[in-house]
Amino acid sequence: MYIQRITAESIAVTGTGNTATTTITVPSTFVPADGAVYDILLRTQVPEGTQRTIVAITNGTDSGNILQARTGNYARASGLGWRQVLRVQYFADPAHYVMLNIRGQC
């Protein structure tokens, strides 16, 4: 099975308090397909203070929050770090990603 690798262009925090979101921005040319699995390479620093924020992926036009595979809860940024690979699966209705795996150094 071929898994497309996408390198994150930036990682930023938007909002404050309980509505804060850590947004992983991927290239605008990336268009996710329903049911497809992707590796998102985090090669940029994860900002400080993101530990409890919800994580989302965007290409600038389309975005979706990341859910944890086993629980269905929103993924939190506490497990994210520099030089990790997030393996996610995209679902279109409603738009969201399911985190399948996090690997260390890329």
Considering only the C-alpha atoms of the chain, give the largest distance between any 2 of them, rounded to a whole number of Å.
Answer: 40
Partner residues linked to 85 by β-bridges:
41, 103
| Preceding amide of 94 cis, omega within 30 | yes
pLDDT tens digits along 78-97: 767 778 899 999 999 889 99
Assign 49 to helix, strand or coil. coil
Q: State pTM to two decimals.
A: 0.88
Would you say residue 105 has pLDDT above 60?
no
- What's residue 106's pLDDT? 47
Tens-digit pLDDT profile for residues 28-83: 999 999 999 999 999 877 777 777 889 999 999 989 999 988 888 888 887 677 78
CA distance 101 to 39: 9
